[in-house]
Amino acid sequence: MSRTRGKSPPIVVTVGFAAGNGGDGVAYAALRTANGPESIVRVGFRCRPLAALRGRDIAYAALSAVAEDLLRRDLRDVAFRIDDAELPVDLAVRRALPAALTVPYVTLRCKLNRFRGATVAFAEGASRDLTARARAEVSLNVAA
């Protein structure tokens, strides 16, 4: 008699991020499995922040960098929770984007499609500590 194993739940990846005016950024991702301890991953990234986008471009660059890191680690089922309310809506609704977000959107969508399963939702405060850590690191790097 064979038993069929159910699909394991995705790894919940909560992402906080920040970038300086020059575009050097850092993202912290808390990886949480259903039955394992939480682990923190730090990922650096680079982008060209544009003030008119109010940080949306930074969110795309941060999530893209974290996604690439997780793919390299061979993680295939993930549920991203990000500290940006607009990005999950952009991905879900496929609404018109500012021209400057077109390439970052396509790049991120391609990376997300490489996962077996990937969802993206607004973290609603769950990433506050991670974002504070990223902002502190970015401000220290700017001051140095």
Which of the listed ranges 1-10, 29-38, 47-56, 127-136 does the model predict with the highest average pLDDT?
127-136
Report which secondary-structure segment, H or E, holds 8. Answer: none
Provide the pLDDT for residue 6: 56
Tell me the domains of the chain and their CATH numbers. Answer: 11-143 (3.30.420.10)
Mean pLDDT of 75-95: 92
The more confidently predicted of residues 9 and 44 is 44
Sign of CA dihedral 70, 84, 35, 109: negative
- Contact of 15 with 80, CB cutoff 8 Å: yes
Residue 140 has pLDDT above 70, yes or no: yes
- Binning pLDDT at 50, 70 and 90, where does residue 1 land? very low
Please name every residue paired with 19 in a beta bridge, in sequence order, or none if there are none. Answer: 25
Residue 22 has pLDDT above 90, yes or no: no
Q: Using alpha carbons, select from 91, 79, 89, 93 the residue that is nearest to residue 126.
A: 79
d(CA 16, CA 132): 8
Mean pLDDT of 81-110: 91
Alpha helices in 32-101 (DSSP H): 56-72, 86-93
Provide the pLDDT for residue 98: 87
Work out whether strand 77-82 and strand 11-19 pair parallel, antiparallel, or are unpaired: parallel
Q: Using alpha carbons, select from 126, 131, 123, 117 the residue that is nearest to residue 10.
A: 117
